[in-house]
């Protein structure tokens, strides 16, 4: 009797998959529920299992793109049921011994650990790193993995004590509620073997020295296979550290590095006489290697949102220049006393934040946002500060900045920047915000057109301070000048308001006393 194995339904939004690799070969005997192939979609990798025991007949080929429900292979079920290879029989004896040992030591219960809800707007996370190894003993509430969303990094903890078993892999994108791993609890060590007991698992293995190795041994995962193929590394030369000896992505990357070092350290191969003409024609020299890295969840989300903003808003940018000498003179005069009193340095960001808050009071549309067919005006100023973190650009928020002093703003900026560098920002610290300030000047930028941080309607870009000749009172003088840029959504902010807002910020910065007097 022949049973067709079809592509299973793997997700609501997935209509097709790719047969990335056959794990069992055509004509081999397979057991029921044994993994026979790997299927790959644009979101994750899935394992195809045998729905019955029998002889495998492959129909699709590796690399084929298959629709959901398409036939992948068939299994010829054996009526006799006794055509198993010797290795399978040995495996069965080991499993019997293992089950006997488990029965002696007590029943083992398994608890699935799932992705917890981490925020209202977050629907998926990426498993960025395992903190414990597969098969390790873990304690209750012990950190076992790191999950990464487009906004922050979270730690997954063990809900019970027991033995950890991987289900998801590093780099997998998981929906909220998806199973990440399982923990076997209640399984103790095997009872000591007595003269009348059944043989243990170890003795069963010894009794069958020719037991076949796991099908995963020496087999690379899809991502690892891609890396090894690109670098020309033979999988047979790589030792797998994954489950059952499978070659993981990390193994492939290490093998790639080792191969590169070997090539660089080894002596150059002598050129054969007949190849001299060909060598003389070559015009390239040096290392021309390429490498591919999977985009992080944060990077993918930032990219998606930036493109969305460009496509969905009527974004324009207006420019002006600010004479920074008054602010710089004020900082030079009071920075030491300021630091002694408040414990933080007096930087430019607090002046810009304070000036922006004052200007927003006069031009509320710059502090507004569009929500469907309505315009939402905020009577507070939650200022988002763009920070370059190790994993990418993040935008933590200073709440109610309009009511804060320069010292309070500086302390808030210092705290949020430190958390961003350490990847410890929380969801609450990164959501919301009514207006954004970004400072490309710290990297040497002279001028730019910053992109709006949706759903906000405007963003102010600071730039490098450069001494330039300017006309002042009929004379040419050298002044420290900064170009400032305001990108805004023209759907709710008119040109008059945007230009007037930026001029107001310029006035406040060129005469800092206005910030104290409110004029």
Judge if 469 and 503 occupy the same domain: yes
Judge if 336 and 253 occupy the same domain: no
251 carries an active-site annotation? no
| Beta pairing, strands 109-114 & 179-185 | antiparallel
- Distance from C-alpha of 130 to C-alpha of 168, rounded to nearest angstrom: 10
Judge if 122 and 238 occupy the same domain: no
Domain final position from 52, 86, 120:
86
- Render the burial of 134-149: b for 16+ CB within 10 Å, e for the rest: eeeebeeeeebbbbbb
List the domain range (segments joined by +) for residue 444.
314-517
Closest of 176, 177, 123, 112 to residue 150, by C-alpha: 123
Catalytic residue among 172, 323, 494, 511: 494
Residue 293: inside a domain, yes or no? no
CATH number at residue 254: 4.10.320.10
Token pair, residue 446, equals: 């002279």
Residue 451: inside a domain, yes or no? yes
- Distance from C-alpha of 133 to C-alpha of 353, rounded to nearest angstrom: 46
Residue 271: inside a domain, yes or no? no
- Distance from C-alpha of 518 to C-alpha of 211, rounded to nearest angstrom: 84
494 carries an active-site annotation? yes
Residue 123: inside a domain, yes or no? yes
Residue 62: inside a domain, yes or no? yes
Helix axes 495-510, 325-342, angle to 10 degrees: 60
Residues 369, 434 contacting (CB under 8 angstroms):
yes
Judge if 492 and 343 occupy the same domain: yes
Judge if 340 and 416 occupy the same domain: yes
423 contacts: CB under 8 Å, gap ≥ 6: 152, 153, 389, 390, 391
Residues 468, 481 contacting (CB under 8 angstroms):
yes
Judge if 81 and 156 occupy the same domain: no
Catalytic residue among 210, 489, 490, 511: 490
Judge if 480 and 376 occupy the same domain: yes
CATH number at residue 64: 2.40.50.100
- Distance from C-alpha of 495 to C-alpha of 499, rounded to nearest angstrom: 6
Our count of domains for the chain comes to 4
Judge if 327 and 429 occupy the same domain: yes
Judge if 492 and 344 occupy the same domain: yes
SS3 call for 352? helix
CA distances 436 to 72, 145, 420, 457, 492, Å, are: 52, 33, 16, 9, 17
Spell out the per-residue pLDDT of the chain, length 519, in tens. Answer: 788 899 888 766 677 888 888 998 899 998 888 889 988 876 567 788 888 889 999 999 988 888 888 999 999 886 544 445 544 544 554 445 444 444 444 455 788 898 888 765 677 888 888 999 998 999 888 889 988 876 677 788 888 888 999 999 888 888 888 899 999 876 444 444 444 444 444 443 443 344 445 555 777 766 677 777 777 788 778 877 765 676 877 777 777 555 555 454 444 454 454 444 454 555 556 788 888 888 776 777 778 888 888 888 899 999 999 999 999 999 999 989 999 999 999 999 999 999 999 999 999 999 999 998 899 999 999 999 998 887 778 899 999 999 999 999 999 999 998 888 888 888 888 888 999 999 998 888 999 999 999 889 999 999 999 999 999 889 999 999 999 999 999 999 999 999 999 999 999 999 998 887 776
DSSP state of 209: T
Residue 268: inside a domain, yes or no? no
Closest of 81, 69, 80, 66 to residue 19, by C-alpha: 66
Judge if 392 and 510 occupy the same domain: yes
Residue 299: inside a domain, yes or no? no
455 prior amide bond cis, ω within 30: yes
pTM for the full predicted model: 0.51
φ, ψ (nearest 5 deg) of residue 389: -100, 165
Closest of 375, 148, 93 to residue 156, by C-alpha: 148
Judge if 339 and 459 occupy the same domain: yes
Residues 167, 122 contacting (CB under 8 angstroms):
no
Q: What stretch of H or E contains 131?
A: none
CATH number at residue 393: 3.30.559.10
Residues 227, 253 contacting (CB under 8 angstroms):
yes
Token pair, residue 146, equals: 């790191």
- Distance from C-alpha of 183 to C-alpha of 174, rounded to nearest angstrom: 18
Residues 433, 395 contacting (CB under 8 angstroms):
yes
Judge if 246 and 380 occupy the same domain: no
Q: What stretch of H or E contains 126?
A: strand 124-130
Residue 199: inside a domain, yes or no? no
């Amino acid at each position: 009797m022949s049973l067709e194995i079809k592509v299973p339904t793997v997700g609501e939004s997935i209509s097709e998959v790719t047969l990335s690799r056959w794990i069992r070969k055509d004509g081999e005997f397979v057991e029921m529920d044994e993994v026979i192939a790997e299927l790959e979609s644009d979101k994750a990798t899935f394992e195809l299992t045998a729905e019955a025991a029998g002889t495998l007949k492959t129909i699709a080929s590796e690399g084929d793109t298959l629709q959901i429900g398409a036939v992948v292979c068939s299994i010829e079920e054996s009526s006799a049921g006794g055509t198993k290879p010797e290795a399978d029989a040995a495996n069965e004896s080991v499993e019997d011994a293992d089950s006997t040992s488990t029965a002696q030591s007590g029943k083992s219960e398994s608890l699935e650990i799932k992705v917890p809800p981490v925020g209202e707007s977050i629907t998926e996370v990426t498993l960025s790193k395992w903190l414990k190894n597969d098969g390790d003993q873990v304690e209750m509430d012990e950190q076992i993995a790191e999950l990464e969303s487009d906004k922050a990094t979270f730690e997954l903890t063990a809900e019970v004590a027991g033995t950890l078993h991987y289900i998801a892999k590093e780099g997998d994108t998981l929906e909220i509620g998806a199973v990440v791993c399982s923990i076997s609890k209640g399984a103790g060590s095997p009872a000591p073997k007595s003269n009348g007991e059944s043989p243990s698992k170890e003795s069963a293995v010894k009794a069958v020295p020719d037991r076949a190795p796991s099908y995963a041994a020496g087999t690379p995962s899809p991502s690892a296979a891609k890396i090894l193929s690109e670098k020309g590394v033979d999988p047979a030369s790589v030792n797998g550290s994954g489950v059952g000896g499978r070659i993981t992505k990390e193994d492939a990357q290490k093998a790639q590095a080792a191969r590169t070092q070997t090539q660089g350290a080894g002596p150059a191969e002598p050129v054969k006489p007949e190849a001299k003409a060909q060598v003389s024609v070559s015009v390239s020299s040096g290392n021309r290697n390429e490498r591919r890295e999977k985009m992080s969840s944060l990077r993918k989300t930032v990219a998606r949102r930036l493109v969305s903003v460009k496509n969905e808003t009527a974004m324009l940018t207006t420019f002006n220049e600010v004479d920074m000498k008054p602010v710089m003179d004020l900082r030079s005069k009071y920075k030491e006393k300021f630091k002694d009193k408040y414990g933080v340095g007096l930087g430019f960001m607090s002046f810009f934040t304070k000036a922006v808050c004052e200007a927003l009071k006069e031009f509320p549309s710059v502090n507004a946002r569009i929500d469907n067919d309505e315009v939402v005006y905020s009577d507070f100023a939650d200022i988002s500060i763009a920070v370059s973190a190790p994993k990418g650009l993040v935008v933590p928020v200073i709440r109610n900045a309009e009511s804060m002093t320069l010292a309070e703003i500086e302390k808030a900026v210092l705290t949020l920047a430190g958390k961003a560098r350490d990847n410890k920002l929380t969801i609450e610290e990164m959501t919301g915000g009514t207006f954004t300030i970004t400072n490309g000047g710290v990297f040497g930028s002279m001028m730019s057109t910053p992109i709006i941080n949706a759903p906000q309607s405007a963003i102010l870009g600071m730039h490098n301070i450069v001494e330039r000749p300017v006309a002042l009172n009929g004379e040419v003088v050298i002044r420290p000048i900064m170009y400032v840029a305001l990108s805004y959504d023209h759907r709710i902010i008119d040109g008059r308001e945007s230009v007037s807002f930026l001029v107001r910020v310029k006035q406040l910065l060129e005469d800092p006393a206005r910030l104290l007097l409110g004029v």
